[in-house]
Amino acid sequence: MDCNQIIMNYTVPPSIEDLEVMAKSVFESLPEEIAEYCDEIELLVEEMVDEGTESELDLDDPFDLLALFKSGKEISPGVERKDSSEDDCLVLYRRSILDMWCETCDDLSVIIRQVMIEELGRCFDFSDREIQEMIRRHYQGML
């Protein structure tokens, strides 16, 4: 599809609130094999990766990180708390997702769905093949 022929529904970029609504809709329809792990997960949308996370993950470019699963048990990646008072959460990064949207010209809800399935799939130890299969099945279900 030629990107010049796509008519966008936005006159301004989608806001954090817009992405939250889209992400919550996707979250409610995740593949069963991932959804069974997601009962206690909080969903957040932030503008950009914060400097602490960027430094901690040693990112070359903050736009490379589209989403991050944060365990309430972890103080930092690989270091767990003895007592957890925080919930697990999936953070989506608005600017990175919109940047991908502009580059690919794909449907924004498809991008959000793919980002969420990939991040959660990796966190719950699904293989790359299983993750790609879930994305493919979910995409076909949207057509």
Domains of the chain, each with CATH number or no CATH: 12-74+83-142 (3.30.2010.20)
Higher-pLDDT residue of 143 and 101 is 101
Query: How far apart are alpha carbons 41 and 123 in whole angstroms?
Result: 12
Local confidence band at 83 (pLDDT 50, 70, 90 cut-offs): very low
* Contacts of residue 133, Cβ cutoff 8 Å, sequence gap at least 6: none
Strand-by-strand arrangement of the 42-46 sheet = 42-46, 89-93, 67-70
The amino acid that residue 74 corresponds to is E
Local confidence band at 47 (pLDDT 50, 70, 90 cut-offs): very high
